[in-house]
Amino acid sequence: MARADLTIKGGWIVRPEGTFRAGLAIRDGKIAVMAEDDALPPAEQVIDASGKVVMAGLIDPHVHAREPGLTEREDWRTVTMAAAAGGVTTIFDMPNCIPPVNTVDAFTLKRQAAEAKAVVDFGLIAGAGITHIGHIPALAAAGAVAFKTFLHEPYPDRMVEFGGLYATDNGTLMELFAAVARTGRVQCVHAEDNAIVEHATEKLMKAGRRDPLAHCESRPVIAEVEAVAQTVLLAAHTGVRLHLVHVTTGSAAELVETFRARGIRNVTMETCPQYLVLNEETMTRVGPYARMSPPLRPEAERAKLLARFKAGTIDVLGTDHGPHTAAAKERGRDDIFQAPAGAQGLETSLPVMLTLAARGEFDLPFLTRVASQTAARLFGLYPRKGAIAVGSDADLVIVDPHREHTIDRRRFYTKERDAAHVFDGWKATGAPVMTLVRGTVVMRDGEVVGTPGTGRMVTPERVAPAPPEVIR
């Protein structure tokens, strides 16, 4: 048998259909053989995974890498180092940066920045904004993995970053959906109703509220539920493959279930670990550092969201990793509305989810489906990504499911670790111990050893990726 570059022996393979004992041989960046350890070919390098589990590397479809333009918050080197540390082998980057990704020129600029520095693979999500609607076909042809539209006008102090990425009324949103539908790509939407948020914010500010919980109250549950209702109806009308990013409430998830039961099948959902395990109490504890949009929710909504997640209603797991500097966050110390919204998540996602698995909330096959396989299928990368199978890219994370540890932001690779308070001090069970991207070890025992420039851009391999009804 031909020599392999690397073999992984002694571990348990986790796939969506189950967990089993097998070894892997990797050649030219791909999984070449999956067999009993004794049946593997000889290799240059042998990794002992005894007592560990081997999962497909996580695919995080919701990351803000911040470069170009906002590199005081994060850059392609640090964001992909954070990914490697967290067992994430592919990230999708959101289009709000400077310049915002609403033209092929801006797309190319970002691609070059990423290719020079990335340690893990990446996909680029382009903006679908009404002022740049004519650019959508060219952005798809350039390799955009999906499109994203914001439903609010840019924040006054973040005008440049969000320019040309939004639609603020249903007429223009419908037109954008129709344009994206023609590309066959996924349309991502941040679903919070702008009018409700603005009205609530104004009332709270007039009443003198500046405390952390005022942020949660300014973006009430109904703002999400109502925006989900509207966008799902517009998606049903236009046929676009709608993907609702960071769904935070059990109520919104239940509403999507109702639509699905009525035959609307072209809608998928993402949620993030923070919404599954934390509630608005965290706001009172870490204040501006936990300001994110949508906000952390009341306990009843969190519990209901986790229940819907476990039931399989929510298709994929993302992080909405969106760093800001500690200095910017501190501006919200006495006035929560002065802190920018967003928090880090790449290095905490897998430990948090492994902890839920250790508690018996769900099993590891379930976790690999929502954290890797489904994103690959939804965005047209499967089975090259998101699978442990012969012929697939050897994007793998080796996990110690029993390791007890305390999450410590001082060990993070994200650039502004001093701002990463959301899960700091959290007691976790389970940790990634090695990450491989296309057969190259990029993280070993918590230390990132991958070289900038290792990461490559991924793009959907079929014109129309697997439709949502195939995913579920």
Q: Please say which residue, 121 or 320, places its beta carbon nearer to Zn ion.
A: 320
Place of tokens 């009993």: 36
**C-beta of 165 vs 396, nearer to Zn ion:** 165
Q: How far is the CB of 277 from Zn ion (least distance, A)?
A: 18
Hey, which residues between 225 and 264 contact Zn ion (CB under 5 A)?
A: none
Which one, 186 or 442, has the nearer CB to Zn ion? 186
As a whole number of Å, the CA-based R_g of the chain is 21
Report the nearest approach of Zn ion to the CB of residue 94 (Å). Answer: 5
Minimum CB separation from Zn ion for residue 323, in Å?
11
User: With contact defined as beta carbons under 8 Å apart, do 35 and 13 qualify?
Assistant: no
Q: How far is the CB of 388 from Zn ion (least distance, A)?
A: 29
Which among 143-151, 272-280, 296-304, 318-326 is the span making contact with Zn ion, rule CB under 5 A? 318-326
Q: How far is CA 140 from CA 191, 222, 463, in A?
A: 23, 33, 10
Question: Considering beta carbons, is residue 320 or 416 the nearer one to Zn ion?
Answer: 320
Nearer to Zn ion, 74 or 320 (CB): 320
Strands (E), 204-280: 241-245, 267-271
One symbol per residue from 417 to 436: x for binding Zn ion (CB under 5 A), - otherwise; what is it?
--------------------
Closest distance of CB 162 from Zn ion, Å: 11
Binding mask 72-91 for Zn ion (x = CB under 5 A): --------------------
Q: Whole-angstrom Cα distance, residue 241 to residue 167?
A: 17
Nearer to Zn ion, 162 or 366 (CB): 162
3-state secondary structure labels for all residues of 352-416: HHHHHHHCCCCCHHHHHHHHHHHHHHHCCCCCCCCCCCCCCECCEEEEEEEEEEECCHHHCCCCC
* Nearest distance from C-beta of residue 403 to Zn ion, angstroms: 29
Q: Which of residues 395-414 bind Zn ion (CB under 5 A)?
A: none
Q: Considering beta carbons, is residue 341 or 398 the nearer one to Zn ion?
A: 341
Q: Residue holding tokens 């509207």?
A: 230
| Nearest to Zn ion of 162, 413 (CB atom) | 162
Determine the interface stretch with Zn ion among 316-324, 361-369, 381-389, 399-407 (rule: CB under 5 A).
316-324
Report, in Å, the least distance between residue 128 CB and Zn ion.
15
DSSP strand pairing (440-444 vs 427-437)? antiparallel
What is the smallest separation between the CB atom of 319 and Zn ion, expressed in angstroms? Answer: 9
Range in contact with Zn ion (rule: CB under 5 A) among 320-328, 388-396, 410-418, 460-468: 320-328
Q: Work out whether 320 is an interface residue with Zn ion (CB under 5 A).
A: yes
Q: Does 347 bind Zn ion (CB under 5 A)?
A: no
Count of residues in contact with Zn ion, rule CB under 5 A: 1
In the complex with Zn ion, the residue whose CB is nearer, 93 or 320, is 320
Q: Residue 253: how many CA atoms within 13 Å on its side-chain side?
A: 26
Q: How many CB atoms lie within 10 A of CB 290?
A: 27
Of residues 14-73, which lie at the interface with Zn ion (CB under 5 A)? none
- Residue recorded with tokens 């050649």: 27
SS3 216: helix
Q: Which two tokens stand for residue 304?
A: 């209901």
Which amino acid, residue 320?
A: D
Residue 161 within binding range of Zn ion, rule CB under 5 A: no
Shorter beta-carbon distance to Zn ion: residue 323 or 432: 323
Please state the closest distance from residue 66 (CB atom) to Zn ion, in A: 11
The minimum distance between CB 131 and Zn ion, in angstroms, equals 20
Which residues make Cβ contacts (< 8 Å) with residue 464, sequence separation at least 6?
Answer: 184, 380
N-to-C CA span, the chain: 38
Cβ-based neighbour number of residue 156 at 10 Å: 6
SS3 424: coil
Distance (Å) of CA 25 to CA 335, 350, 449, 456 = 55, 24, 21, 22
- Helices and strands (H, E) in the chain, number of each type: 17, 19
Q: With contacts defined by CB under 5 A, name the span among 112-120, 315-323, 324-332, 346-354 that binds Zn ion.
A: 315-323
Binding site for Zn ion (CB under 5 A): 320
